[in-house]
Amino acid sequence: MTRILSGIQPSGVLHFGNYFGAIAQFIERQNAGDELFIFVADWHALTSVREGKKLRANINEIVLTYLACGLDPDKVTLYRQSDIKEIQELSWILSCLAPMGLLERAHSYKDKLANGLEANVGLFTYPVLMAADILSMQADRVPVGKDQKQHVEIARDLAGKFNHIYGEVFKIPEPEIKPEVATVIGLNGQKMSKSYGNTIPLFADPKEVEKLCKKIKTDSKLPAEPKNPDEVIPYQLLKLVNPKLAHEIEAKLKKGGLGYGDLKKTLAEELIKFIEPMRARRAKWENQPEEIDLILTRGAEKARFEAQNTLAKVRQAVGL
């Protein structure tokens, strides 16, 4: 059985990029019988979220969304990162092995600085904490987008260095990237991300979905002109939501005769239709807050057991 691990920061409302970039894979893997550890990365969120009330609300929103999307708590270990204190101890031990140059080369750190985030120590050492998340659970595979692949490679480097110095303790995790969803494009042509303000929230009101789809960046070609589907953002998103319909539209784009306005309208309709079953599940879970708390408690117990086993081996190896 393959052990899969993934986490997400509770720094805002989840969007279609989160769904197709990660959540859809979780559903697929849980139904295939893999062992999934999925966590809410609330420690990581402290690098940018400064309001306690907002953070707690975001954590609840993430868990609610995961359950609404179809994560089965009987098949998936779902937990809060901050409930597993052993991860912080492991993070410190790994930080004592992490070369400064390795962290300085992290693309995500440089990218976030370029987009105006504060250059705090937590943001700089983010990859070490992420490595502790992964290695504490002895994960085999870590599904990520292209932007996070380097972080998994850093975790591999740190695990390999630890094993070389102290003996074999850690599994060497593998990044897992689905080429067709490695990067979900946002409204402006960049990766769909809350940091860039270019997202379509999963549970946005239908009118808001229509409004956002109208904002999607396109070129100035007229409806009659042929278009390259690979360069048309609404088409790329439609291909994720309804591949069959996208295949039919592809020919129209190449031939000419389809305008961007009509394509954006079709995309909005398909996004709204796609989310309806999840919206119904969300309404059900919203009325069961005690059950959600129980799910997180059970998940934390299982995750803590794994982390404690790993940390016991680490402490023995390093001499603590």
> Could you give the CA distance from residue 204 to residue 53 in angstroms, rounded to a whole number?
22
> Could you give the CA distance from residue 128 to residue 158 in angstroms, rounded to a whole number?
8
51 phi and psi, to 5 degrees? -120, 120
Q: Is 273 designated active site?
A: no
Q: Which of 191, 227, 239, 264 is catalytic?
A: 191
What type of residue sits at position 289? P
Specify the pTM: 0.87
CATH topology classification for 203-282: Tyrosyl-Transfer RNA Synthetase (1.10.240)
Between 120-129, 272-281, 285-294, the lowest mean confidence (pLDDT) is in 120-129
pLDDT higher than threshold 90 for residue 178? no
Residue 141: CB atoms within 10 Å? 18
Closest CA to 40 of 12, 68, 17: 12
Task: Give the pLDDT confidence of 274-286 residue by residue, as tens digits.
Answer: 999 999 999 999 9
Closest CA to 41 of 131, 146, 154: 131
Q: Which of 75, 112, 161, 211 is catalytic?
A: 112
* Cα→Cα distances 208→53, 172, 271, Å: 25, 43, 11
Mapped onto helix, strand or coil, the DSSP state of residue 47 is coil
Q: Which of 54, 85, 161, 194 is catalytic?
A: 194
Mean pLDDT of 133-147: 90
* Strand 76-80 to 35-40 pairing: parallel
pLDDT of amino acid 12: 80
Q: Is 161 designated active site?
A: no
The rounded mean pLDDT for the chain is 92
Q: CB–CB of 288/67 below 8 Å?
A: no
Tokens for 224, please give them: 């009659």
Closest CA to 256 of 282, 280, 226, 233: 226
> Could you give the CA distance from residue 5 to residue 172 in angstroms, rounded to a whole number?
13
What type of residue sits at position 82? S
Q: Is 191 designated active site?
A: yes
List the chain domain ranges: 3-184+289-318, 203-282
Task: Give the pLDDT confidence of 7-36 residue by residue, as tens digits.
Answer: 999 988 899 999 998 898 899 999 998 999
Tell me yes or no: is domain 3-184+289-318 CATH 3.90.75.20. Answer: no
Where does the pLDDT of residue 182 fall: very low under 50, low under 70, confident under 90, or very high at 90 and above? low
Task: Give the pLDDT confidence of 94-111 residue by residue, as tens digits.
Answer: 999 999 988 888 877 777
In percent, how much of the chain has pLDDT > 70?
98
